[in-house]
């Protein structure tokens, strides 16, 4: 009998040790897996945080000056004499086709005029429509100035 109890106890110990060994393997590998997942999660969270941090701004300020040009290119914005801010406002400033046609009719042009032709014809019409000559009526002179601006924009 003592032999049976020893064998029984030995069997129990072997079974428990095998169970603990299996549990050890499961939990150590699973624990390692969980630790690897945790590290990957932390790295991804860190990268997302830094990306968002870089993307955050306190407002967009566009600055375009001489420092934007590299390789020794000298660029001077003062070379654009005679331009004002309205000249650079884009396509909204370009006259409509029908308005250009009205301006050509008003000036008496049948072709696309040059800048010199526009200036010459403007001076002739200004003498004709000037408010001092027309008893203070400046409606035609305003129309003349508007159509001159329209034609000048189409030439440049």
Q: How would you label 41-56 residue by residue, b for 16+ Cβ within 10 Å and e otherwise?
A: eeeeeeeeeeeeeeee
52 and 105 part of one domain: no
Give pLDDT, residue 43.
92
Asked if the structure places residue 113 within a domain, the reply is yes
Report the C-alpha gap between 38 and 14 in whole angstroms.
Answer: 35
52 lies in which domain range? 1-62
Asked if the structure places residue 25 within a domain, the reply is yes
Which residue among 43, 62, 81 closes a domain? 62
Contact, 103 vs 150, CB < 8 A? yes
Asked if the structure places residue 76 within a domain, the reply is no
Tell me the whole-structure pTM to 2 decimals: 0.41
Asked if the structure places residue 17 within a domain, the reply is yes
Asked if the structure places residue 85 within a domain, the reply is no
155 and 100 part of one domain: yes
55 and 101 part of one domain: no
Report the C-alpha gap between 131 and 142 in whole angstroms.
Answer: 10
Report the C-alpha gap between 151 and 97 in whole angstroms.
Answer: 11
Asked if the structure places residue 32 within a domain, the reply is yes
Number of domains in the chain: 2
100 and 53 part of one domain: no
The pLDDT profile of the chain, 156 residues, written as one tens digit per residue, is 557 787 888 888 899 888 888 877 777 777 777 778 788 889 999 998 888 877 775 555 666 655 555 555 565 656 655 555 555 555 556 677 778 888 888 888 888 888 899 899 898 888 888 888 877 778 888 888 888 988 888 876
Residue 41 DSSP one-character state: H
Report the C-alpha gap between 85 and 77 in whole angstroms.
Answer: 12
Asked if the structure places residue 118 within a domain, the reply is yes
2 and 49 part of one domain: yes
The residue assigned the tokens 């001077």 is 76
47 and 103 part of one domain: no
Q: What CATH number did the domain enclosing 109 receive? A: 1.10.287
Give pLDDT, residue 80.
57
Asked if the structure places residue 107 within a domain, the reply is yes
């Amino acid at each position: 009998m003592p032999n049976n109890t020893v064998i029984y106890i030995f069997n129990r110990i072997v079974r428990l040790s095998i169970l603990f060994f299996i549990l050890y393997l499961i939990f150590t590998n699973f624990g390692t897996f969980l630790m690897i997942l945790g590290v990957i999660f932390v790295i991804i969270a860190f990268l997302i945080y830094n990306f968002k941090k870089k993307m955050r701004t306190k407002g967009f300020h566009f600055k375009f000056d001489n420092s934007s040009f590299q390789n020794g290119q000298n660029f001077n914005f003062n070379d654009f004499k005679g331009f004002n801010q309205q000249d650079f406002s884009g396509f909204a400033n370009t006259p409509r086709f029908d308005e250009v046609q009205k301006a050509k009719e008003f000036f008496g042009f049948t072709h696309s005029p040059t800048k010199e032709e526009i200036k010459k014809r403007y001076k002739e019409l200004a003498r004709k429509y000037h408010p001092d000559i027309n008893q203070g009526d400046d409606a035609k002179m305003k129309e003349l100035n508007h159509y001159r601006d329209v034609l000048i924009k189409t030439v440049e």
